[in-house]
Structure 1
Amino acid sequence: MDAVEIGMPYSDPMMDGLAIQHADTKAIQRGVRTHDVFSAVEAVAVAGATPLVMIYYNLVEHYGARGRRNDPAASVRAFARDLANAGGAGLITPDLTPDDAEFWTASSDEFGLDRVYLVAPSSTDERVARTTAACRGWVYSTSVMGVTGARAQTSDAAPRLVERVRAIAPDLPVGVGLGISNGAQAGEIGAFADLAIVGSALVKQLIAAEDAGTASLDGLRALVDDLASGVRASR
């Protein structure tokens, strides 16, 4: 596993499907806050993996603003500082474009954090060029238009999008996500992309275990092993 994506719970996860919406709601109801996510980041880093946080940008802009007038530049810088101190590698920001990322660009440069923006099959070549130029680390290529969620089949638009991205930014690694739910699909993605990104399928395993009244992570481990095997077989 190259990296671990840690989702920051949000009350209005507009780009996420039902599984992650459900998980976000449960996490918020149970009092999960930003400092808990930073603790998870630290644990992943200590374990030797690369932690990235996927977060809606409103949470970054208002970080630490409770009880005081918000200063977005100061909030973004404080978030970047604390993420770096926890061992985080960077942010995946699904609702932020480089055009609106002045504070994040400055703060991520200051603290050496990756900036992972999204491109989609509908993105023009001009948009792909502007987005990839602003990325650091890698770029997130969505395989379909729509919200996140495991799907029975991966999209045939994904290889074409990766080809376009590589023609424009040949030195930038490309990750593909939205829809991967098993090792076979991960292998399909691994054959043409640098990273296969899986979120909803893993969350579903955790939800299923809790609904069954068990703390066992056997289902999650089995899925991770299947996904990793699929990617390895494709390389």
Structure 2
Amino acid sequence: MIRDLGPFIPKRPYKLDAPILTMLLNGVHDRHQGQVFVLQVGAGSGDSGLPLLQRFRDDGWSSLLIEPHPQNFAGLDALHAKGDRVAVLNLGISDLAANLPLHSLTPEAEAVQRRAPRGRASLIRDRIATPGTRPEDIISTEVPFLRMDTVLGELGIDSAQIVAVNAGGHEAQVLTSFDLATLDPSLVLVHSTPGTAADEACIATLTAASLHPFRVAGWLAGLAPDRLAVPLEELLTFFQKGTGAPQDTEE
């Protein structure tokens, strides 16, 4: 049950993002007693984005990490080379099986655009061709793409506690390439752009799988109803309500 706790408008909402995301991950961990399997599409090099690396190393979580970009995958593979709970695959996920051109900046262009996210890649060329980007700054690499249901069937994966998708604007197609409800995740995180048709399609897919959609830390989060519980003491500690704790007057 969702209860309205009344209006709360923090002066700096972005300060709440990382702790709330951590609380959600803690909730999944507690719910499944540490037996958490993560299915991640668009894992990048594995050391940025979602704070999952420490979970794999310290909390006993396991995962299938999928990354299509060759350079990103090389870093991802090296990062988990000595681990036995994390599997990595170098391919793309879509609603069809085909070899498709994946666009990204050249290393030289990426070095110049220091404020741009590292390792950006997308099937949509316009997402890479930002203002000031020259045609020669973009390279295209043909990458094999498969449907997720094919991958899950080949590997015998029939459940996941967390599903995370960051596919450079291709998230809606990833989500429609498998039966999300059958995996029965407690938490789904989708990196989509609010106000776009693709974002609306992602929300529709989450809702159809009986997940409640929210915005958390730049992600579209789908929560399984009545499943994730944040300990009250964890929430009160975050808001500095302990006796003797300094009160935050900025929020």
TM-score, with length taken from structure 1: 0.32
If each structure's helix is expressed as a fraction of its own residues, which one has the higher value? 1
More strand by share: 2
RCO higher in structure (CA 8 A, sep ≥6):
2
In terms of Rg, which structure is larger? 2
Per the normalisation by structure 2, the TM-score is 0.30
